[in-house]
Amino acid sequence: MKQFAFRRGWLFVVIGVCCTLYTTVVYANDADSVSSRIRNLKRVTVSAERATQNISAPMPTQTITSSTMQNLGMQSLADAARRLPGVTVKDYGGLGGLKTVSVRGLGAEHTAVLYDGVMVSNCQAGQIDIGRFNMDDVETLTLSVGQQNDLLQSARSYASAGVLSLKTKNPLEGTDKPFELKARMKGGSYGMINPSVLWAQRIGATTTFSLTGNMTRADGQYPFTLVNGKRISEEKRYNSDVMSWYAEGNLYQKFKDGSRLNTKIHYYDSERGLPGSVILYNNMSNERLWDKNAFVQTRYQKAFSEKWRIQAEGKYNYSWTKYEDTNVKYQGGKKTDVNKQQEYYLSAAALWMPIDGLSVSWSNDAALNTLQNNFPENQEPYRLTWLSALNARWKWKWFMLSGTLVSTVVDEHVKSGNKPADKRRLSPCFSLACQPFLSNDLFFRVMYKETFRVPSFNDMYYEQTGNTALRPENAHEYNFGITWKSKPWRFVESMMLTADAYYNKVDDKIVALPSMYVWRMMNYGRVDITGVDISLQSRINVADIVGLSLSGVYSLQRALDMTEQSSKTYKHQIPYTPKHSGNVAIQVENPWVNIGYSVVLVGDRYCMRQNTSANLVHGYNEHTLSLSKTFDLKRCSIRLQADVANLTDTQYDVIKYYPMPGRSYRGIVEVKF
């Protein structure tokens, strides 16, 4: 029945889009009829931010703007990220649930997250929880497979298999306003309250600062359906509450020589319940997690001439976590883990363009990472990392050829216990983009990239399961793609199609395997990943005052365990990787009420390495409807928005035994001066 529901969801989306397109075509061709209906209305110009896709980029790149996130009623950055092609988001449910991003089946550890151009790191876990970042402060969310198109970037960005970039905006940039003040209140189902405030002030002709604060509170007690054979019961999720807040300050400085210096100070604090997996007849959990994170980062950019540009970055990051589980199985009835990690990071990059068409960049990064915890056998590890990336690009008329070589040097140190081996590696990347017809925006692209990810501190040192003998994972990415942009019909303002076929191979995959009486991290196996990502975006002018935006994404991914032919899991799909996934979104912009509708579809997955019916996690489709209206007054503007998430009240799991919320409601009031 759930498979039928999934297919029916796809059919519903296809029929809806076809009907919308048909109606639009008829509406556009019947100009006289349309004119007669709107003749007495006042002319209104509708403007909106649109995705700034670079169709000529040699690497697959997709962008979602803040206006799209708002208009489609997206609930978080994780909700936005899962609408990008090739992205898999692990979500453990609720506002406080961990949310990590994997690109093309490579794992969240291979995905770098940039926050205003500077890398977000977590050397302890090796993966970033993007659920902690506030979606309202993000101007664009960009995914680059392989690496970003910009040559002036850190060596860390070059060293990653995929880059998810979060970019915020200087509220006063491009305006002559002396200040901006914005207050927003969100409220919704399951006790969710989310007030936020932003103040930006111009303190000189070239200096601006902004302060923003945000608080989120929710009890997370949402209902779900528990199926136990023929017995079906209505239950409620407990210990899923969250209380978090953050504050951030930004200083934007533009100097007389055109150089820029941006400095950010950020503090995040949260306490959340960890609901745990649903166990029959026992829905209680006593696990709690506290997070404190503070960092300061600065970024300087300067162009000496048309041929020389430099960039420098620096960051200090402090992170403290406390995990607590109350259970009789522990001595004393309670287990408490406390971890503290610090990072000191510096980066410098230079770009040289000696002749027209040729660009050469060189980036160098240095980082020191430390970890301390309260484990009885605390090894107090620290890691020194040096990354260097040399990149050259040649662009001539109809083609662009680029190559990158990344050098990685990692020195491991411990104050006690076994010292892991140091790591050294050279990783190449090659790409080619060509435009066979200069009069047509049709591009072909080819890419090969080799990356490897160093084991995290948890992989190597976590009590009982850690293994200091782990080798880095090796990932090889191959990509062939086509991009096309055109105006095929008179009533279509723009249309863009991207299609990419890829093959990824991962060697020395790091997994947890049973060893005697405990699980232990080991290098085991090879994973082969083949897939296709297709995206289509179009904007249609229905009338002078009505705009229609359509977008669709489809991903086919076969991620197979190719470790050992005699194994029961040989050629089985790796856990939590759907073979089919996609989404469709429609935005209608008009002077009355803007409408956003979207549906996310995810196919069947398996929660374990062996693809059996017992390990099957059924596919699902989730619909979201959003209505919004902005009122422009003399001294301020007021924006009202109402969202309904999971419109059809679908019962589903992203992670097995972690049920997701059903239908939920959210209201937003925003006042901007």
Grade residue 18 by pLDDT with cuts at 50, 70 and 90.
Answer: very low
Cα–Cα dist 84/645, whole Å: 18
Query: Considering its fold, how many domains does the chain have in total?
Result: 1
What is the amino acid identity at position 267? Y
Could you tell me what percent of the chain has a pLDDT over 70?
89
pLDDT tens sequence across 296-326: 999 999 999 989 999 999 999 999 999 998 8
Grade residue 422 by pLDDT with cuts at 50, 70 and 90.
Answer: very high
Output 659 or 664, whichever has higher pLDDT.
664
Q: What pLDDT, on the 0 to 100 scale, is given for residue 321?
A: 93
Q: What pLDDT, on the 0 to 100 scale, is given for residue 33?
A: 35
Write the CATH number for 126: 2.40.170.20
Cα–Cα dist 93/241, whole Å: 11
The residue whose two tokens read 């008329």 is: 397
Q: What pLDDT, on the 0 to 100 scale, is given for residue 267?
A: 96
Average pLDDT over residues 168-176: 89
Cα–Cα dist 384/382, whole Å: 7
Cα–Cα dist 620/6, whole Å: 5
SS3 content of the chain, % helix, strand, coil (to 5): 10, 55, 35
Domain carrying residue 112: 2-672
For residue 275, give the H/E element and its range: none
Q: What pLDDT, on the 0 to 100 scale, is given for residue 1?
A: 44
pLDDT tens sequence across 270-298: 998 888 777 665 666 788 999 999 999 99
Q: How many Cα atoms sit within 13 Å of 337 on the Cβ side?
A: 15
* Range from 158-162, 285-289, 644-648 carrying the lowest mean pLDDT: 285-289
By three-state DSSP, how is residue 299 classified?
strand
pLDDT tens sequence across 213-244: 999 999 888 888 777 667 777 888 888 889 99
pLDDT at 43 over 90: no
Q: What pLDDT, on the 0 to 100 scale, is given for residue 94?
A: 60
Grade residue 45 by pLDDT with cuts at 50, 70 and 90.
Answer: very low
pLDDT at 48 over 50: no
Considering the chain, what is the average pLDDT of its residues?
85
